Amino acid sequence: IADLDFIKTLPKAELHLHIEGSLEPELMFELSRRNKIEIPFSSVEEIKAAYKFHNLQSFLDIYYQGASVLIHEQDFYDLTMAYLLRCREDNVVHTEIFFDPQTHTERGIDIGVVIRGIHSALKDAESEWGISSHLILCFLRHLSEEEAITTLKAAKPYLEFIKGVGLDSSELGHPPSKFQQVFAMAKELGLERVAHAGEEGPAEYIKEALDLLDVSRIDHGVRCVEDEALIERLIDREIPLTVCPLSNTALCVYDDMSQHPILQLLERGLCVTVNADDPAYFGGYVNRNYQALSESLGMTKKQAKKLAINSFKASYISQAQQQKWA
């Protein structure tokens, strides 16, 4: 069995991390004071007590509310730097993080403030600790495609800092097909493409993301288990899944970690990876996610190692750089 000490020895890449979801209650409080933004909690304990979710939407409501304390470039820097310190503790040597510009631009924050704050923390972590990174801009799928296009256009002056685009927020009722145009525009701009699909939504949404958005990676994707032909396609085409075990149990995708299919998918030859999603809300950073698989599914050292190697294979770093971590 892979224990925490062993997990720590493995260099890892993280590929599914919403930077707004790494906002710890302590920093949320500090920023709420610093920026004089009221939050409906009077203590860190009260915030933590509110983190009981029954599905994706019940989480998203609290997650968007939490992000309202982020105003200045320095706030985005502090948020990102706090996460990168956790990467260092967990032996995460490469990270590809999501951000949700629309959560901030809707409140009147300039997209440049958001991108510059996050980017400067990423650069500092690279020069100080050698942690490499990419930034992925996510469109909120509960909003219109027109608003996604406006967001992509607003990001154009900063494209040198952005590796790709993604799709997140409320999945059910907002299929990938809704965003065909904006993903085609992103491809035209030379951006990589990923999408959340098959978290709460059906396997059909995974197929749509592949066929209509031309994504090279699926975020979550666990509901592929309902479609045997799709599983074979994901294996044949080597499409990675960025799986988030503690997120899935926190949002009741599975009642218990013992039901999680990640190791079965790994054994079948899918390129599955382990990620934290929104660690401040779901109970842990990447090593805690690996540890949960050991505790509930008896993950072996060999399996843990394979998952860590997959994380580099599934990343957007060069082949040469991947060799370094293999």
- Indicate which of Zn ion, ligand HPA, none lies near residue 21 (CB less than 5 to 8 Å, by partner kind): ligand HPA
* Contact flag: residue 73 with ligand HPA (CB under 6 A): no
Cβ pair 266, 298 in contact under 8 A:
no
Is 72 annotated as contributing to ligand binding? no
Q: 119 to 178, contacts with ligand HPA by CB under 6 A?
A: 168-169
Binding-site string for ligand HPA from residue 10 to residue 49, where x marks contact by CB under 6 A and - marks none: --------x--x----------------------------
> Which residue in 134, 119, 36 sits closest to 79, CA to CA?
119
- Residue 284: what are its φ and ψ, rounded to 5°? 160, 160
Question: What is the distance between the alpha carbons of residues 228 and 264, in angstroms, rounded to a whole number?
Answer: 13
- Say whether residue 275 binds ligand HPA (CB under 6 A): no
Of the candidates 199, 215, 285, 290, which one interacts with ligand HPA according to CB under 6 A? 199
Residue 277 is a binding residue for Zn ion (CB under 5 A): yes
Q: Identify which of residues 56 and 272 has a Cβ nearer to ligand HPA in the complex.
A: 56
171 is catalytic: no
Say which residues have a Cβ less than 8 Å from residue 191's Cβ, sequence separation at least 6.
159, 162, 163, 164, 165
Give min distance, CB of 251 to Zn ion, in A.
Answer: 10
Chain residue whose CB lies nearest ligand HPA: 168
The span of 31-39, 230-238, 249-257, 270-278 binding Zn ion (CB under 5 A) equals: 270-278
- Provide the sign of the torsion angle of the four alpha carbons 294, 288, 62, 16, taken in this order: negative
Sheet containing 241-243: give its strands across.
12-18, 92-99, 132-140, 164-168, 192-197, 217-220, 241-243, 272-274
Q: How far apart are CA 175 and CA 247, in angstroms?
A: 21
How many residues in the shown chain lie near ligand HPA by CB under 6 A? 10
Q: How far is the CB of 239 from Zn ion (least distance, A)?
A: 17
Closest distance of CB 20 from ligand HPA, Å: 7
Query: Min. distance of Cβ 236 from ligand HPA in angstroms?
Result: 26
Residue ranges in contact with ligand HPA by CB under 6 A: 18, 21, 56, 168-169, 196, 199, 247, 277-278
User: Which residues define the annotated binding site for substrate?
Assistant: 278
Active site residues: 199
